[in-house]
Amino acid sequence: MFVSGITVWRITVWRITKAEHYNPPLMTKAATEPYRPHDFESRWQAFWQREGLDHTPEPPRRKQYLMEMFAYPSGDIHMGHFRNYTMGDVVARFARMRGFDVLHPFGWDAFGLPAENAAIKHGIHPAEWTAKNIEVSRATLRRMGLSYDWDREVVTCRADYYKFTQWMFLLLHERGLAYRARAAVNWCPVDQTVLANEHVVNGCCWRHPDVPVEKRELEQWFFRITAYAERLLADLDKLDQWPESTVKMQRNWLGRSEGAEIDFAVPAWATASGHGEGLTVFTTRPDTLWGATFLTIAPEHPKTLELASEDRRAEVEAYVAKARKKSDIERSDLTRQKDGVFTGAYAINPVTHDPIPIWVADYVLGGYGTGAIMGVPAHDQRDFEFARTYDLPLKVVVQPPEGTLDPETMTEAYPGFGTMVSSPPFDGTPAPDGIAEVIAWLAKQRVGRRKVQFRLRDWLISRQRYWGCPIPMIHCPACGIVPVPREQLPVELPENVESFIPTGRSPLEDVAEFIETTCPKCSGPARRDPDTMDTFVDSSWYHLRYLDPHNEREPFAPERAAEWLPIDLYIGGDEHATGHLLYFRFFTKVLFDAGWVAVDEPATRLVHQGMVADSKGEIMSKNKGNVVAPGELFDRDGVDVPRLAMLFFAPSDAEILWSDGGIEGVRRFVHRFWETMLSTIADPRFAASAGATVDAAVLSSGAREAWRLAHRAIERTTQSIERDLAFNTAIALFMEWVNAARRVGDAGDWSDADYPSLAASARLLAATIAPLAPHLGEELWQRTGGEGSVFRSPFPAVDAAALRKETVEVPVQVNGKLRSRVYLAPDASKDEMEQAALADEKVREILAGQAPRRVVVVPGRLVNVVM
């Protein structure tokens, strides 16, 4: 997509330059004023506001709910925002012209660590820093003229919003989906707070890509998203208008595995404590159980230290401490050397009854399965490498369809299927058929059971920082952990915090007037929970608050949700595939089960916008000094030129290489389009042509081609908005129309017979370009005689007759090399195409009187003369 998008841009810019080289200005006898967008852009924005153009109709008759991911206010709007929000604005304006009642809201994802870190750096309160950034960014968005319903703006750090974030927490708690537990958690040593699994990228904090995440044992709040794992996976099949890459990422992140849990007894004589223990493993290959020659447990397994014998304990403790410093990514790396430590304990293989050693190894993760695995080195490569390192035995229990495995000579594991051997009573059973039979047999023996396992872990939402939504729970010495009653919401974030510097404990613990409270049950002294919520909780339900943002009693009225959901189009970055996009699906399903919404998936269609990089392909950042501020572009060219450039550079999902040369080509086009339109309108025949019918059949060839290109622009603009958001190809057709219209004028003038098609094209294209360049479109709509706002007029319809080409260009090859072109009717027969090719002067010269061996004809596409 990236290559094709850039190719379109290069070709079209060449066309513009080439056309200017040999074409004088169109109809120079008609004086036109220069394109000065600053003369009218603010005027049209004020007009739209007076007209209430962006106001959301209630209730909708024919709804379109359009959203872009809201912004984190870390400064002014950047080029990535500009691209994302421009795409959404095009669709919103088009939808209104197509007769839809549109909900197109905006808001601010305003809690989070960047604000708190900025407060520490600059010595200001995060609320002040956030408010200033919102003010600056909002002004830029308004200057862009984006068609947002600003009456529905939400700001997640305001109490009127986070009151209902706390309401959501209580709903999950009531439904058994919010709980507190002690667990090994991801810890960012820079921000001094925990991280959800989804916020660990390549073993590092998502905010600090060079900082490895550590593991700590803490008591934290979790959301039981695993209770919805099966539905989150199954319902991916409903999302046929989501990018396949995102669906695949979520499918892999959920990580469904079918297999068995198997119980291994640990006899008293095999433990340091002298007490019998038991270990349960999860495996997808229970048919290989007879080949298990050792067990391996994760360093963080709760029984690791309990199983260690006295003479091994120090070594085990040291290994565990070392493993805690490694990330899950590093530990799961298949290419690294496997290592571990023998605990000194043994387990009993439940089918062979042989004692097998228990090892601790960091390639086993405590968060997956049971945190313990059976080592089957003959049939698992990781186990094979581990066994060879520590001289542990191999036992072949599955022979491949061809050949025989010898454990003494094996150089790698055989993980495939075949025939079970040395596995009484299943010898001779074909695998994988034997898997189901073994599971059923283990269940009868009461040592195993069928199990579906997911890679997904519960969502850890506690944060030991200040700038976030307080968790609405109270810790009472007498009553335990008690929820704050809904009527007492919001639990407001205190302003008088002495220090935001991270220490590993929440700054709220030191604010006595916040932390000290009374128990809602017994009225005794109690303490509030000091942690705040992961900011991804705020963004998991904001699409619902947009529906009813001024409701003080509830997060939204269910009837509003019934009217507007699901979201028809959601635009945002693919970096949120296994974070936000998973969480807001989870929240929607919870609310569906609770009867608050009537849909169990939040968005029908999802589009990811590509990144915006500089001309060298480097992502823009202040540190690199390659940032282009949208405001600077607006100062120079107005809004619509950079807007069209952003849409033209590449298809919506491809990366853009922003360059001054690229915007120069679009600037030139806009000025030529403006000149062409105004020259057309200035013609005395323009007013008289209003309402005239255009018959393409009677037009001259040049006028017919310009008329066809006008309707191609209408057709492709419609398709790009409704199908693929590839606006670059639509804009290219406007460019072609300009060149075609100017060629007719340069050849002499538009005749009286042809002129009505030019006038009609001007009226149609003023409306067609409006969603792409709204200020330019509105100005031209008024100048062409349009009534009211162009966005309250119907979007132009395509004339199918106008799209038919009089002739098509057919390449002619000789021995596979392009030698000429002929122009024929679109429905020319094979014989007609062959005769035209053989009659071509260049082909006749090459043939030099010889008869061709054969002529290959591809109807309407190609002729290849073979000598």
pLDDT, tens digit (0-9, with 9 covering 90-100), for 479-506: 999 999 999 999 999 998 888 877 778 8
Question: Which residue in the block uniquely carries the two structure tokens 């619902």?
Answer: 544
Which pair of structure tokens corresponds to residue 66?
């359009």
199 DSSP assignment? G
Exposed / middle / buried, residue 33 (Cβ in 10 Å: 0-12, 13-18, 19+):
exposed
Percent helix, strand, coil in the chain, to 5, is: 40, 20, 40
State how far the alpha carbon of 667 is from the alpha carbons of 13, 588, 732, in Å. 11, 44, 13
Overall CATH class of domain 256-454: alpha beta
State how far the alpha carbon of 37 is from the alpha carbons of 43, 681, 727, 738, in Å. 10, 18, 22, 19
Q: What is the pLDDT, as a whole number, of residue 32? A: 67
**Residue % of the chain over a pLDDT of 90:** 70
b/e 197-227 (16+ beta carbons within 10 angstroms → b)? bbbbbebbbbbeeeebbbbeebebbbbbbbb
pLDDT, tens digit (0-9, with 9 covering 90-100), for 608-663: 998 888 888 887 766 667 788 899 999 999 999 999 999 999 988 889 888 888 89
Say yes or no to pLDDT of 753 above 80: yes
Structural domain boundaries in the chain: 2-38+660-803, 168-224+459-536, 256-454, 808-866
Architecture in CATH of 2-38+660-803: Orthogonal Bundle (1.10)
pLDDT band at 355 (very low <50, low <70, confident <90, very high): very high
pLDDT band at 205 (very low <50, low <70, confident <90, very high): confident
pTM: 0.85
User: 808-866: what fold?
Assistant: Ubiquitin-like (UB roll) (3.10.20)
Judge contact between 707 and 761, C-beta under 8 A: yes
pLDDT, tens digit (0-9, with 9 covering 90-100), for 147-200: 999 999 999 999 999 999 999 999 999 999 999 998 777 888 888 877 777 677
3 state DSSP class of 564: helix
Nearest of 740, 659, 487, 564 to residue 152 by alpha carbon: 564
CA separation for the pair 293, 741 (Å, rounded): 81
Q: Mean of the pLDDT values across residues 52-61?
A: 95
Exposed / middle / buried, residue 520 (Cβ in 10 Å: 0-12, 13-18, 19+):
middle
pLDDT, tens digit (0-9, with 9 covering 90-100), for 284-305: 999 999 999 999 999 989 899 8
Say yes or no to pLDDT of 9 above 70: no
CB atoms within 10 A of CB 827: 10
Which pair of structure tokens corresponds to residue 157?
């750090």
pLDDT band at 1 (very low <50, low <70, confident <90, very high): very low
Judge contact between 104 and 148, C-beta under 8 A: yes
Q: What is the pLDDT, as a whole number, of residue 274? A: 57
Say yes or no to pLDDT of 7 above 80: no
CATH topology match: 256-454 vs 808-866: no
Which pair of structure tokens corresponds to residue 831?
């014989």
pLDDT, tens digit (0-9, with 9 covering 90-100), for 777-810: 999 999 999 999 999 999 999 999 888 876 778 8
Q: What is the pLDDT, as a whole number, of residue 116? A: 84
CA separation for the pair 85, 634 (Å, rounded): 15
> Between the ranges 9-23, 576-590, 835-849, where is the mean pLDDT highest?
576-590
CA separation for the pair 235, 635 (Å, rounded): 47
Q: What is the pLDDT, as a whole number, of residue 269? A: 67
Helix (DSSP H) and strand (DSSP E) numbers for the chain: 29, 34
